[in-house]
Amino acid sequence: MSKESYDEVPYPTGAIQFTQPQRLAGAVAWAGWAPPPLRGARVLEIGCATGGNLVPLAARHPDWILVGVDYSPGQIETAVQLAGQMGLDNLRFVAASVEEITPAWGQFDYIITHGVYSWVPAPVQAAILRVSRENLAAQGVAYISFNTLPGWHWRGVIRDFLLQFTPSHLSGAQKVAHAMTLLQTFQAATPPDTPMGQLLKREVPALLKAHPSYVLHEFYESDNRPLHLAEFMRRAESAGLRYASDVAQPDVDGLLLSDPARALMAAQGEAGTAAVLQMRDYLRGEQFHRALLVHAERQPERGRPAALADRLAGLGLVGQFMPHPNPKAPAGALLCRLTNHAIAAPTPEQRGLIDVLNAAWPGAVTVDKLLGTAVETEDARAVESYLKALIADGAVRVLGAAQTLRGNASADPPQIDRCCRLQLECGLDTVTTLTHEVFRPDALQAQIMRLADGQRPGAAVTQALQDWARQNPEQLVNSSGERIDAAPLIEYMPQLVLDFMHGPAREAGLLAPTVAESASAERA
């Protein structure tokens, strides 16, 4: 990845939900490893860009120490300014290459390298693995994402096509524009029933919606080196590291695999773990990995065959479910917020588990609290199996600790989380939810969030919002960008505030927690 193209069309700043340390701790623990501590955690991010991933972590965890490294001085300057505006003194940004990081930088519980490894030359890849070993605490976990084979073979066809038919003299922005036009023309000219037509039908719509930075750096950079998981595992082993799991693949027990798939994977057992996991990638057509690495000398500490309560002891479980909005969905079907997958109507026993998760959202509860709903039933074992299946599907997420994060949507004065309000005050057009996801408010929602500071009574928030709407009618637009008449909107403003607090703010995790984090929220 060249510094020039990186600065010309930078990646958008923002939280990367898969890299949240609570999630990394939960994923590695679910796979059988003792997770690093969350209390007083030390976090290093390689390729931090303008700091959008680390800043909300620093704001919400003042006891953490965080360091961001990027080889673009311009992006680091922006990151430093943002951290200063938000008054963060537990976060440091450094303009440097990963090759400049030495053991003198210290040890970190979590080392995050997202969107870098596949896009840099071999010496830099080696440096990423070296730092992930030398600077990783004894019980630490390193996260490295990369494009993987066999799935990226298909995208490689599109990359080869664009590289061959895009003039090399174009600027980065011009290449992106050329790619959009060329791909649409190519798709229109390709018979849809051919293998190429089917590939374009699957890939082009997503690329047309992608951020320009993704298209430029994914398809035009000289370095884009997808590799098989087995090869990555060999490289990690040579560097003194061991593959533990993938944060985005929670089905570590193979519960969702078909019987033939299990048989294929089992047949690779004598060839070793790498061969088994590589077969899984072929079965899935995997395109991207979010790998978790630990020190090579470590052994799994949390046996996977153990009882579920023991396996999840001390961890947190989070999920949210709602009635399926599709009227054609089976009666009683639910929609999972974390995966957008439909699940069948739960039994009364399973429903108790769903209700506990929904009541805690966006916080995480302990397995004891969840399974406590099943202890009084005759089918507790079936409820345990149901929970394991939800975890395997990603419908329930394992975190490193239970957290009490639920806010009160009916509170007066209303209050949005402080980090979200600070992000808006700093001029950002997105905020980071309590689940470490990106939320993009419209102009009216952003103004509600600024005003709901926990000091103004609800009536004062409504009055200030009405005044703002009268003074800024040009900012009142619908989801299609069309202007909305201010007069009826202003009259309806009290209900709009309530609807936002009980709707998007509650569902996305924007409310200020009633209890920031329980005393037992983070592992010592």
Q: What is the predicted pLDDT for the residue at 306?
A: 67
Q: What is the predicted pLDDT for the residue at 5?
A: 59
Q: What is the predicted pLDDT for the residue at 477?
A: 80
State yes or no: pLDDT of 518 exceeds 80. no
Question: Can you list the positions of beta strands (E) in 189-282?
Answer: 227-228, 241-246
Mean pLDDT estimate for the chain: 90
Least confident of 70-84, 363-377, 442-456, 495-509: 363-377
- Cut 0.85: pTM above it: yes
Distance (Å, rounded) from C-alpha 366 to C-alpha 33?
18
**Region 368-379: what's the mean pLDDT?**
66
Query: pLDDT class for 497, splitting at 50, 70, 90?
Result: very high
Q: What percent of the chain has pLDDT over 70?
A: 94
**Region 372-385: what's the mean pLDDT?**
68
**Region 184-193: what's the mean pLDDT?**
95
State yes or no: pLDDT of 286 exceeds 70. yes
Q: Measuring CA to CA, how many Å separate 374 from each of 332, 359, 380, 430? A: 20, 16, 5, 40
pLDDT in tens, 102-135: 999 999 999 999 999 999 999 999 999 999 999 9
Query: pLDDT class for 303, splitting at 50, 70, 90?
Result: low
Q: What is the predicted pLDDT for the residue at 26?
A: 95
Distance (Å, rounded) from C-alpha 432 to C-alpha 415?
15
State yes or no: pLDDT of 380 exceeds 80. no
The residue among 219, 283, 275 whose CA lies nearest residue 249 is: 283
The residue among 150, 43, 46, 157 whose CA lies nearest residue 97 is: 46
Q: Measuring CA to CA, how many Å separate 446 from each of 280, 339, 428, 442? A: 43, 26, 10, 6
Structural contact between residues 313 and 370, judged by C-beta atoms closer than 8 angstroms: no
**Region 72-101: what's the mean pLDDT?**
96
* Euclidean distance between the first and the last CA atom of the chain, given in angstroms as a whole number: 39
Distance (Å, rounded) from C-alpha 287 to C-alpha 228?
10
